[in-house]
Structure 1
């Protein structure tokens, strides 16, 4: 196993030697070609049709044991990390949120396939389409108090242009809302293959007195490795990550 190589003062490079499963392919990619052959960006969270409030579900109908601790994946895409974790950790409820309905549809289909393959009900995972910057706080507040133990933001859209930085999911307001809905000891996982984006996310969290960086990221990173992360490891492409703890 390769050791993490520190790339900057606040973050670690992800160099775990895991076997590649497949490259993560979002149905709405970070940058993909349209039918015309032109490059198009990911879903803009500020457009009117996406700045919508959604009602939280009735958790007693979503989870078999709604009183359990909760792991929220913001920008869950196809749900692979939560589906892996839900099977390995039946004592934890898993909630995936993504702004792109097509990816949530894929995650829900994968959930059904998982139940068929497992020949049992996987009743500790749920996926919903929502704009996290608009809805995360209200959704989190509707969960049992103190239940949110893990929040992950894995490879979020980088929005490279300076004028588009306001579209990034992690900002001061977002971090403050997570601080308000998580108990002391809760962990936040961030990772990006764009160093500038990673540093921006890390700095937002570390600028908030409610969060501190855990020193040994390799040991603290106790959530499944995504297909994208495995692929980057396989080809030797660096990614930067940290685990923050609520203090």
Structure 2
């Protein structure tokens, strides 16, 4: 299912339509991308009976026209909360990657009633790390990802627009420096922080720190994958998320 809501947010849907009391998950992409690289994970989660929705955030990819300029992290979080309420989803398990984790942390801090659990995959950007160093970490991660991800990401960046991607990066850096950790500290939903063992962007020390900052956090590391662990190993990631949602991870 694909649809564009009244908010202008393009959304991919997997599994049964949303309904009261049924489990649902919302997957949140990283900076400048679309939800396309989350689709393998979405399909596997939906196969177990979860309704899965994968929006393109406002200003990105197929939701580019939903915002006249690059939004900051707080604005993206509020827009996603408005989209969530419009669909009457009920509390969701939010699964986010990279800078999408900043958006998810802001949404959960501001709108806790919308979130049942959080899964943060390779949360970025790390506070107190400069823009050039963050960009260098991204470049170092590229050869560690599956080759099929590279043209997909490149096409998304071009659709979003490189100037808008650059503006979003600056806003995300500001959020990392000023708000990210504060938002994490306001999160009380059970949270799983996941890192691929080959991730050059989100360090092991940072992952452990994130899990300590949130009110109810735990960590997991997936061997043999990098920053986009959900794309490289969707079956393993789905199994990990299902264990977490069923309370089997301590």
TM-score (norm 1): 0.37
TM-score (norm 2): 0.37
RCO comparison, higher one (Cα < 8 Å, 6+) = 1
Judging by fraction of residues, say which structure has more helix: 2
